[in-house]
């Protein structure tokens, strides 16, 4: 009888070991946690425009004052001209705003607006809010950037 | 049967040791990446300062160094830049608040890497190194001089050296001995009756004094430390030898610094600063005048005639984006102060913008406790670090000084 218990004990030990290994391997895998929506192109909140937001030089560099491009199209795909744009934002998990005051400084044609003075001073989740006013009406959009 | 059980246990232990990282690999890949980003070797070369065309002119730096150490550059001939920025003390003075002609309300900042700052002073009330250098010269508590007197002094003592760098001095013969828009009532009155062109002439000489001092200060750069040697070895996979090897306590401190204690959030990059302003709930000092930090400084830098958008800047205004896009108001800059570099910090107590804390232990305890700010909102949240964890953070900080 005693030997059967030993077998059961050993079996349990092996099972526990297997579970442990699987758990550790799983925890170490780089899996995407459901975080903020990181898309760089999206519809504005009321669906008035399609907005795209990209760093002008292609890369985001922490601690550098950079310019970004906000491209605005109507739902039908026509470029939005003459838009008034205000920018705000911050780090939702840190309860602070942006370290700079980015502004729409230039209209580059084809619905593209230069948003200059963007700086991300620390790693983590940043949000940029845009309030957009154009002939078609006013709408807002939020872009998430994770460094 | 006993053998099977013990084999199972051994296997389990071996697997745990392997996966749990009890052995050599002490840092995750993410931690290694963060540590590498803080090594001095990642510091880029110093960018040219287009707002100061003399920034990299050796003759300007030489004149600037003379002026930096010259007590003649003060009202009573007793105070120079080096009175507070002591060359053998990391260019700071070990005092809770600087003492020039009078007693100021702020801690002297060290100068290593100063030319890399976008903002100057604890509150960023100046936006270039040369505009910064001009400010203590006329502060009644620091060098307490006035720009007309400085222009005359430069002509008398350093006229030839000045002209070789900056070109001919203006005719100063009818400029009052003492005059400044920021001085005493008599100095202000004397300034106000000067012709605009003459004010301009004096301002130009004055700006050039700042540009020469800035050219000198650009040469003051941070030095490699034990941490940097450790970081290089970690990045290259070499086993840290000698003083590059970290003790278990220093390793714990480094892990906390870049992990649970969140220090690296603001103290990031090879200079251990994000160059930004934060309210971290540091208490005011009793007896000092009210101090609201960045919120007042933003207005001051905007009004400074020597700022980047003013007429004394060299080059074009593309260099002025920090000023152009600065945050000018709002609750987040109330009692916000610049993140200081931590390089060399262990050797220069006391700490914070008015020397509030006399030891690193007190600093770490402050961030662990995270008391609310007297005004505005502190960005720091309580960490409740153990005694052992706080001591480990201090041990790690010391590796940035050795
Ligand atoms: Cu943050």
List B residues 19-58 in contact with A (Cβ-Cβ < 8 A): 19-20
Q: Is the pLDDT of residue A78 over 70?
A: yes
How many angstroms separate the alpha carbon of residue B350 from the centre of ligand 1? 26
- Same domain for B237 and B199? no
Q: Which residues in chain A have their CB less than 8 angstroms from residue B376's CB?
A: none
Is A147 at the interface with chain B, CB within 8 A? Answer: no
More confident residue, B384 or A19: B384
- Between CA B281 and CA B379 the distance in angstroms is 8
Q: Which of A2, A4, A17, A106 to mutate to test the interface with B (most CBs of B within 10 A)?
A: A17
Q: What is the pLDDT of residue A35?
A: 80
What integer best gives the mean pLDDT of chain A?
A: 87
Separation in Å, CA of A124 to nearest CA in chain B: 9
pLDDT in tens, B286-305: 999 999 999 999 999 999 99
- Between CA A129 and CA A89 the distance in angstroms is 5
CA atoms within 13 A of residue B325's CA, in its CB half-sphere: 27
pLDDT confidence band for B402 (50 / 70 / 90):
confident
Q: What is the pLDDT of residue B1?
A: 43
Sheet holding A125-134, edge to edge: A96-97, A84-91, A125-134, A137-146
Separation in Å, CA of B8 to nearest CA in chain A: 7
For residue B48, the Cα-to-chain-centroid distance in whole angstroms is 18
Backbone angles phi, psi at A51, to 5 degrees: -115, 140
More confident residue, B241 or B223: B223
Helix (H, G, I), strand (E, B) or coil at B356: coil
Structure letter (DSSP) for residue A93: T
Q: Which residues in chain B have their CB less than 8 angstroms from residue A28's CB?
A: 19
pLDDT average, residue stretch B330-358: 97
CB B331 within 8 A of CB B376: yes
pLDDT average, residue stretch A71-90: 97
In a domain, B275, yes or no: yes
- Same domain for B33 and B162? no
How many angstroms separate the alpha carbon of residue B269 from the centre of ligand 1? 15
Separation in Å, CA of B329 to nearest CA in chain A: 10
How many angstroms separate the alpha carbon of residue A13 from the centre of ligand 1? 45
Alpha helices (H) in chain A, listed in sequence order: 2-28
Structure letter (DSSP) for residue B331: G
Q: Is the pLDDT of residue B18 over 50?
A: no
Whether B19 and A24 lie within 8 Å, measured CB to CB: yes
How many angstroms separate the Cα of B295 from the Cα of each of A20, B92, B291? 53, 25, 10
pLDDT average, residue stretch A101-123: 98
Nearest to B372 by CA among B327, B342, B335, B318: B335
Q: Is the pLDDT of residue B276 over 50?
A: yes
Domain residues for the domain of B370 are: 27-43+223-292+334-398
Is B334 at the interface with chain A, CB within 8 A? Answer: no
Q: Is the pLDDT of residue A25 over 80?
A: no
CB B261 within 8 A of CB B366: no
Q: What is the pLDDT of residue B23?
A: 46
Q: Which fold has domain A41-146?
A: Immunoglobulin-like (2.60.40)
How many angstroms separate the Cα of B382 from the Cα of each of A123, B177, B265, B372? 20, 55, 15, 10
More confident residue, B101 or A3: B101
- Same domain for B136 and B269? no
- Same domain for B172 and B228? no
The count of other CB atoms within 10 Å of the CB of residue A12 is 11
- Same domain for B86 and B147? yes
Task: Identify each DSSP E strand in A56-100 by its residue range.
Answer: 66-74, 84-91, 96-97
pLDDT in tens, B116-163: 999 999 999 999 999 999 999 999 999 999 999 999 999 999 999 999
Q: Is the pLDDT of residue A124 over 70?
A: yes
Whether B332 and A97 lie within 8 Å, measured CB to CB: yes
Contacts of B380 (CB under 8 A, 6+ apart): B280, B281, B367, B370
Q: Which of B16, B298, B325 to mutate to test the interface with A (most CBs of A within 10 A)?
A: B325
What integer best gives the mean pLDDT of chain B?
A: 94
**Cis ω on the peptide bond leading into residue A68 (within 30° of 0)?**
no
Whether A63 and B266 lie within 8 Å, measured CB to CB: no
CB A103 within 8 A of CB A131: no
pLDDT in tens, B29-86: 999 999 999 999 999 999 999 999 999 999 999 999 999 999 999 999 999 999 999 9
In a domain, B248, yes or no: yes
* Sign of the torsion angle spanned by Cα atoms B378, B380, B385, B390: negative
- Using a pLDDT cut of 70, give the percent of chain A over it: 77
- Same domain for B110 and B236? no
Considering CB atoms only, which of B20, B275, B324 is closest to A63? Answer: B275
Is A1 at the interface with chain B, CB within 8 A? Answer: no
- Same domain for B96 and B232? no
Q: List the beta bridge partners of residue A133.
A: A84, A138
CA atoms within 13 A of residue B360's CA, in its CB half-sphere: 20
pLDDT average, residue stretch A78-88: 97
* Residue spans per domain, chain A: 1-32, 41-146
- Same domain for B94 and B177? yes
Q: What is the pLDDT of residue B21?
A: 41
Nearest to B260 by CA among B40, B31, B32, B21: B31
Is A46 at the interface with chain B, CB within 8 A? Answer: no
Q: What is the pLDDT of residue A14?
A: 62
Count of domains observed in chain B = 2
Nearest to B359 by CA among B346, B343, B342: B346
- Same domain for B186 and B228? no
In a domain, B286, yes or no: yes
pLDDT average, residue stretch A127-143: 97
Q: Which residues in chain A have their CB less than 8 angstroms from residue B328's CB?
A: 101
Whether B8 and A10 lie within 8 Å, measured CB to CB: yes
- Tell me which of B161, B196, B217 is where a domain ends: B217
pLDDT confidence band for A104 (50 / 70 / 90):
very high
Contacts of B92 (CB under 8 A, 6+ apart): B84, B85, B86, B107, B108, B109, B110, B111, B348
List the single residue in A with minimal CA-CA distance to B268.
Answer: A122
Whether A65 and B265 lie within 8 Å, measured CB to CB: no
- Same domain for B116 and B234? no
pLDDT average, residue stretch B338-360: 98
Query: ipTM of the predicted structure?
Result: 0.87
Whether A101 and B5 lie within 8 Å, measured CB to CB: no
pLDDT average, residue stretch B230-251: 94
Separation in Å, CA of B265 to nearest CA in chain A: 6
Q: Which residues in chain A have their CB less than 8 angstroms from residue B5's CB?
A: 6, 9-10, 13
Q: What is the pLDDT of residue B6?
A: 52
In a domain, B48, yes or no: no
- Using a pLDDT cut of 90, give the percent of chain B over it: 92
Is B259 at the interface with chain A, CB within 8 A? Answer: no
Q: Is the pLDDT of residue B20 over 50?
A: no
More confident residue, A27 or B37: B37
In a domain, B303, yes or no: no
Is A103 at the interface with chain B, CB within 8 A? Answer: yes
Q: Which residues in chain B have their CB less than 8 angstroms from residue A63's CB?
A: 268-269, 274-275
């Amino acid at each position: 009888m005693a030997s059967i218990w030993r077998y059961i004990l050993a079996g349990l030990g092996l099972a526990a070991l297997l579970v442990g290994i699987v758990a550790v391997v799983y925890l170490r895998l780089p899996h995407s946690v459901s975080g903020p929506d990181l898309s760089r192109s999206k519809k504005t909140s009321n669906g008035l425009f399609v907005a795209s937001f990209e760093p002008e030089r292609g890369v985001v560099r922490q601690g550098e004052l950079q310019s970004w491009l906000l491209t605005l199209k109507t739902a039908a795909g026509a470029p939005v001209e003459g838009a008034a744009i205000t920018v705000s934002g911050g780090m939702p998990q840190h309860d602070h705003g942006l370290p700079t005051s980015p502004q729409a400084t230039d209209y580059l044609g084809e619905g593209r607006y230069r948003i200059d003075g963007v700086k991300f001073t620390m790693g983590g989740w940043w949000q940029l809010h845009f309030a957009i006013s154009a002939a078609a009406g006013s709408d807002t959009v939020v872009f998430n950037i994770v460094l | 049967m006993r053998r099977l059980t013990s084999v199972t246990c051994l296997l389990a232990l071996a697997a745990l040791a392997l996966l749990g990282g009890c052995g050599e690999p002490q840092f995750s890949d993410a931690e290694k990446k963060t540590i590498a980003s803080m090594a001095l070797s990642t510091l880029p070369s110093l960018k040219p300062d287009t707002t100061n065309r003399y920034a990299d002119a050796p003759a300007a730096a030489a004149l600037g160094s003379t002026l930096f150490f010259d007590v003649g550059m003060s009202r009573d001939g007793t105070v120079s830049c080096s009175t507070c920025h002591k060359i053998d003390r990391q260019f700071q003075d070990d005092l809770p608040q600087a003492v020039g002609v009078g007693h100021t309300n702020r801690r002297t900042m060290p100068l290593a890497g100063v030319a890399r700052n976008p903002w100057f002073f604890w509150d960023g009330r100046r936006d270039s190194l040369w505009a910064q250098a001009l400010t203590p010269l006329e502060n009644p508590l620091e060098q307490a001089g006035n720009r007309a007197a400085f222009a005359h002094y430069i002509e008398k003592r350093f006229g030839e050296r000045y002209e070789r760098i900056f070109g001919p001095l203006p005719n100063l013969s009818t400029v009052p001995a003492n005059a400044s828009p920021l001085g005493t009532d008599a100095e202000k009155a004397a300034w106000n009756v000067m012709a605009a062109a003459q004010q301009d002439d004096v301002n130009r000489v004055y700006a050039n004094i700042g540009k020469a001092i800035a050219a000198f200060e650009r040469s003051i750069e941070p030095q490699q430390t034990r941490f940097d040697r450790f970081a290089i070895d970690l990045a290259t996979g070499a086993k840290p030898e000698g003083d590059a090897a970290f003790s278990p306590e220093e390793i714990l401190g480094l892990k906390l610094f870049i992990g649970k204690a969140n220090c690296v959030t603001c103290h990031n990059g090879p200079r251990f600063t994000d160059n930004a302003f934060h309210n971290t709930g540091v208490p005011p000092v009793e007896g000092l005048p009210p101090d609201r930090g960045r919120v007042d400084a933003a207005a001051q830098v905007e009004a400074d005639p020597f700022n980047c958008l003013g007429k004394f800047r060299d080059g074009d205004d593309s260099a002025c984006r920090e000023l152009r896009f600065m945050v000018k108001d709002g609750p987040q800059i109330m009692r916000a102060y610049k993140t200081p570099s931590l390089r060399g910090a262990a050797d220069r107590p006391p700490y914070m913008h008015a020397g509030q804390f006399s030891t690193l232990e007190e600093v770490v305890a402050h961030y662990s406790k995270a008391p609310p700010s007297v005004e505005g909102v502190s960005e720091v949240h309580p960490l409740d670090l153990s005694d052992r964890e706080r001591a480990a953070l201090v041990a790690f900080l010391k590796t940035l000084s050795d």
